[in-house]
Structures are given as C-alpha cells and as structure tokens.
C-alpha cells in the first residue's frame, strides 16, 4: 500500500458494529475477491472485496475474516486468515503479511494460515446454528459473473446443508451507509488530495492541451500524495464530450472557447473522493457558459439545502427536479407548454438532466446504503446536478461530497473552488 498506516480503530469499530447485529450463536465468514485473468498469463490489479476490507483493512489476496462471537474459545471469536508466506513465491510476487503486520493493520489478534484453516473451520461451523455469508448486493451491480463470494456460498451450502444461512449483505448495507468519525477522517484525506490536484489543474489547463495529458497530471498528483490512485476512471470531457456521462476516451484536444468537465477523485486508505468541476479551457467563461454554469450551481446549492436527516433520496430527487424545471425555464431550455404537458414518468427537465443527483460514497464510489429510507446522520453523499445541452454542444456538472449531520450536512469539499469568480481568478494566476 502507498498510504500511511490507518488507525486500526476504524476496523475494530466496524467489526463491533457488525457483531452487534448478528443473531445469537452465529458465525460470519468473509472471503477475498478473485484474482482475475486479463490476457495470456497476466492478471488485473487485485482489488479487495469491499466488505472484507471494511472489516479488517486487509488488501492482500486470498484472505478471510471469520467472526464467531459465541465461540467457546475466546481466542477464535475473531480470526483473520492469510496465505502463509513462501520465500520462493515472495521472490516473484513480493512480501506477504506477517502476523504482527496483519495484527497492526486489522486489530485482530488471532491469525490463522489458510493452509491450516480446514481443521479449525469445520468444528466452528458445527458449533454454530447460523452462518452469515457475504454477497455483492450493490443495487447498481450489472455483472452476472459468479464471483468468489457466490462460489463460496455454493460450497458452504453443499457441505453444511442443514444450517440456517443468513445474508451478511443486509447488515452491511445499513452499517456501511453510516460512517464513523474515523472513516470520515480518512475520506477527508482522499478529498484533500483531490483538492490539491484540482488546484494544480487550474494552472495547467489551456487551449491545445489534451484530455489525456490532464488525466496524466491527475494520476501523477494522486500518486505523489500517497493515494492508491484514482478512485474510478477519470472523466476528462471537453466540449461536446461532456454530455457523455461516463466518457473515458480522454483522447481529444481541448479547444479555445470550450468548457471541460472533469470528474475525478482520489482513493486513499481504501476510501474514495468524488469531485466534478466544469471549467473554461481558456480560463474565461463565455456569457452563455456562465449562465448555464450558475444555473447548475444554483441547483447544487438548492440540493444541499434539502439534503438532511428525514428526507428520502426519492423525495429529494423529486424536489431537485422541480427546482431544475424552474431553472431550465429561466435560462430558456424549456417552455411553459412543455412543462404543462410533460409526461409524469419522463419529466420535461430530464432532457437536460438525465441522471440522479446524489449517491452514497465510502469504500466504494457508489457505496452501499439505503436509497428508499430516510437519510440519517453519518451518511456521506455526493451532490452532483448537471445540465447537458445537445443543441449547444455543452455539458456542465458540479459535484461535492457531503456528510449528513444531526441538523443538516457538512460540505467536505468546502475549500475547493466552485464559483465562476474563484475559478477564473485562479486560472488567470
């Protein structure tokens, strides 16, 4: 890992929170993600299972976390399973965690080597009435690939068919949606790295620079500040490319007079930042560009004013949609007749704002958390309204990250330049 060691209290608290929700006399088992082949004998960079990381802070492949709070032997009430270090393999693939290192990262005292687990796990399972197993139940998941956690479910059900099986994901969805103070502290580090990177870009961008050169500046800035790298594929979309929500080609020249939409964020300590800014390539917003930008900023500020405990994302999105309708009428994108005759299932404003306004943020960019229940303190959300105008070949989006507090929210990106005046002043310098 590139980042400095995290406070193990993050993971100790997370395990305590999970255990407090378990049924009596239950065991919970979490497994690593697969190492995925790309081509030939190569594999993709390993990315740890988010749930296992959330519970332990361990990023090494072939790891497991086992929680059995009612185990008669206190030593085995929480266990971290690791691959036994192999001197020959380490010459090829690098060092593997030693016991003391794993204990310092995770706060788990009992470390078991994977090759000796079989003789321990079976007696533990026989003692338990219920088995919690993990599954990737993110509502946004699109892949039907049967990953390791699902294969492990199949294996356990085959070996122990008479146990009662429970979904760890149901608990984790609620718990991961509410961040501890320690988690927010790490997220703030990812955000601060992202801020300094954006300020660097304001000095770098000018007509003639390419989207991929900007992406390279982002990557360089992230790594030089100990980030793992980008939290997701950076979107560097100049001109009409900005209307493509997940534009990742990043291969065009940035032209004088165009806007450039940049959606990027650092990953630090396993936690993500998610920033979007839209700026003028030449450092000066045109009159129409300024009008559209300020309309988007108004929506951003309105969304912030209502994102607070007690509201659901569904109601929140509807309210922002109402405000977007008024803004789009004001800047000439909609006519009153279009609004009057709109389809309730496909509102008129959706022509120019065709995505959601907010999503949970944390270990994953689109993190786990409720999308139907009322918001609660401790949740972290993006606010990211956009305006995309095909006729004008223009796209604007503005995104910050917010912590829901008892009485409202806290802008974790409050120090990042956001107004027309701030952006123009810094680009001029």
Q: What is the pLDDT of residues 22-50, one digit of tens each?
A: 999 999 999 999 999 999 989 999 999 99
Whether 155 and 36 share a structural domain: yes
Whether 153 and 243 share a structural domain: no
Alpha carbon of 136 to those of 34, 133, 161, 232, 317: distances in Å?
13, 10, 22, 18, 26
* Per-residue tokens: 374: 């009322």
Q: What is the pLDDT of residues 391-406, one digit of tens each?
A: 999 999 999 999 999 9
Contact 275, 400 (CB under 8 A): yes
The answer to the question of residue 370 being in a domain is: yes
- What is the model's pLDDT at position 10? 98
- The total of structural domains in the chain comes to 2
The answer to the question of residue 153 being in a domain is: yes
- What is the model's pLDDT at position 374? 95
- What is the model's pLDDT at position 429? 82
Mean pLDDT of 59-81: 98
pLDDT at 372 over 90: no
Q: What is the pLDDT of residues 210-253, one digit of tens each?
A: 999 999 999 999 999 999 999 999 999 999 999 999 999 999 99
Which residues, in sequence order, are CB contacts of 28 under 8 Å at separation 6+? 18, 22, 65, 66, 67, 68, 131, 132, 133, 168
- What is the model's pLDDT at position 140? 74
CATH number of the domain where residue 25 is located: 3.40.350.10
H-run or E-run covering 237:
strand 235-238
Instruction: Indicate the residue among 146, 177, 208 that finishes a domain.
Output: 177
Nearest 10 degrees: Cα torsion 398, 230, 259, 339? -40
Residue carrying structure tokens 């309210």: 319
The Cβ of residue 212 has, within 10 Å, a number of other Cβ atoms equal to 15
Contact 267, 227 (CB under 8 A): yes
Whether 25 and 63 share a structural domain: yes
pLDDT at 345 over 80: yes
- What is the model's pLDDT at position 137? 85
| Residue of 179, 183, 182, 166 lying closest to 21 (CA atoms) | 166
Whether 121 and 270 share a structural domain: no
- What is the model's pLDDT at position 145? 82
Whether 199 and 321 share a structural domain: yes
Residue carrying structure tokens 């802008």: 411
**Sign of the CA dihedral running 144, 145, 148, 154:** positive
Whether 228 and 361 share a structural domain: yes
The average confidence (pLDDT) of the chain is 96
* Per-residue tokens: 425: 């002043």
Nearest 10 degrees: Cα torsion 105, 189, 95, 119? 40
Mean pLDDT of 91-99: 94
* Higher pLDDT pick, 271 / 93: 271
pTM: 0.96
Instruction: Indicate the residue among 132, 153, 177 that finishes a domain.
Output: 177
Whether 223 and 354 share a structural domain: yes
Q: Out of 55-64, 99-108, 140-149, 396-405, which region has the weakest mean confidence (pLDDT)?
A: 140-149
Length of the chain: 429
CATH number of the domain where residue 419 is located: 3.90.230.10
Three-class DSSP category at 102: helix
Which residues, in sequence order, are CB contacts of 66 under 8 Å at separation 6+? 27, 28, 29, 30, 76, 78, 79, 80, 81, 121, 124
Instruction: Indicate the residue among 177, 207, 241 that finishes a domain.
Output: 177
* Per-residue tokens: 228: 């793992």
* Per-residue tokens: 276: 């979007």
Contact 66, 79 (CB under 8 A): yes
Question: Residue 380's beta-bridge partner residues?
Answer: 403
Mean pLDDT of 105-125: 97
Residue 7's pLDDT band (cuts 50, 70, 90): very high
The answer to the question of residue 141 being in a domain is: yes
Pairing of strands 394-397, 386-389: antiparallel
| Residue of 390, 410, 388, 407 lying closest to 398 (CA atoms) | 388
Alpha carbon of 310 to those of 139, 182, 317: distances in Å?
22, 24, 14
The answer to the question of residue 243 being in a domain is: yes
pLDDT at 142 over 80: no
The answer to the question of residue 3 being in a domain is: no
Question: Residue 253's beta-bridge partner residues?
Answer: 210
Question: Cα(296)–Cα(289) distance, rounded to whole angstroms?
Answer: 11
* Per-residue tokens: 391: 């006729």
Alpha helices in 178-250 (DSSP H): 181-204, 211-224
Determine whether 279 is exposed, middle or buried from the number of CB atoms within 10 Å of its CB (0-12, 13-18, 19+). buried
Mean pLDDT of 383-392: 98
Question: Cα(252)–Cα(244) distance, rounded to whole angstroms?
Answer: 14
Alpha carbon 347 to its chain's center: 28
pLDDT at 174 over 90: yes
Whether 251 and 395 share a structural domain: yes
Whether 120 and 219 share a structural domain: no
The answer to the question of residue 2 being in a domain is: no
The Cβ of residue 181 has, within 10 Å, a number of other Cβ atoms equal to 11
The answer to the question of residue 1 being in a domain is: no
Write the DSSP symbol of residue 281: T
The answer to the question of residue 110 being in a domain is: yes
Q: What is the pLDDT of residues 277-295, one digit of tens each?
A: 999 999 999 999 999 999 9
pLDDT at 139 over 80: no
Q: Which domain holds residue 77?
A: 9-177
- What is the model's pLDDT at position 41? 87
Contact 96, 113 (CB under 8 A): no
Whether 285 and 206 share a structural domain: yes
pLDDT at 1 over 90: no
Mean pLDDT of 155-183: 97
Whether 303 and 264 share a structural domain: yes
Question: Cα(108)–Cα(198) distance, rounded to whole angstroms?
Answer: 38
Question: Cα(7)–Cα(381) distance, rounded to whole angstroms?
Answer: 23
Whether 185 and 129 share a structural domain: no
Percent residues over pLDDT 90 in the chain: 95
């Amino acid at each position: 890992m590139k980042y400095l060691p995290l406070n193990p209290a993050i993971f100790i608290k997370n395990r305590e929170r999970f255990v407090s929700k378990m049924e009596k006399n239950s065991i919970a088992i979490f497994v690593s993600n697969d190492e995925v082949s790309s081509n030939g004998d190569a594999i993709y960079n390993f990315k740890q299972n988010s749930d296992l990381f959330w519970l332990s802070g361990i990023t090494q492949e072939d790891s497991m976390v086992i929680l059995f709070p009612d185990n008669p032997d206190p030593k085995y009430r929480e266990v971290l399973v690791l691959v036994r270090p192999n001197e020959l393999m380490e010459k090829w693939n690098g060092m593997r965690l030693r016991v003391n290192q794993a204990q310092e990262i995770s706060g788990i005292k009992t470390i078991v080597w994977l090759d000796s687990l079989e003789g321990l796990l079976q007696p533990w399972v026989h003692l338990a009435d219920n088995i919690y197993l993990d599954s990737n139940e993110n509502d946004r998941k699109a892949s039907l690939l049967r990953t390791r956690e699902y294969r492990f479910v199949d294996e356990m059900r085959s070996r122990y068919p008479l146990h009662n099986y429970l979904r760890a994901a149901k608990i984790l969805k609620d718990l991961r949606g509410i961040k501890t103070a320690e988690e927010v502290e790490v997220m703030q580090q990812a955000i601060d790295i992202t801020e300094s990177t954006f300020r660097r870009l304001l000095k770098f961008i000018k007509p003639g620079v390419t989207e991929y050169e900007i992406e390279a500046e982002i990557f360089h800035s992230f790594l030089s500040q100990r980030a793992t790298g980008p939290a997701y594929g950076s979107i560097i979309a100049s001109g009409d490319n900005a209307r493509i929500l997940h534009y990742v080609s990043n291969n065009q020249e940035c032209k004088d007079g165009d806007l450039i939409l940049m959606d990027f964020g650092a990953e630090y300590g396993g936690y993500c930042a998610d920033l979007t800014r839209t700026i003028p390539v030449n450092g000066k917003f045109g009159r129409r560009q300024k009008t559209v930008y300020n309309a988007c900023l108004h929506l951003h500020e309105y969304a912030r004013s209502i994102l607070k405990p007690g509201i659901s994302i569904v109601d929140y999105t509807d309210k922002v949609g109402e405000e977007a309708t008024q803004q789009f009428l004001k800047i000439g994108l909609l006519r009153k007749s279009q609004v009057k005759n709109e389809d309730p299932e496909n509102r008129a404003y959706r022509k120019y704002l065709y995505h959601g306004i907010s999503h949970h943020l944390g270990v994953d960019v689109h993190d786990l958390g409720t999308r139907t229940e009322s918001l609660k303190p401790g949740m972290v959300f993006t606010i990211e309204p956009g305006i995309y105008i095909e006729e004008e070949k223009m796209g604007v989006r503005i995104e910050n990250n917010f912590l829901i507090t008892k009485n409202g929210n806290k802008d974790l990106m409050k120090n990042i330049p956001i107004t027309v005046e701030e952006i123009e002043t810094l680009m001029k310098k």
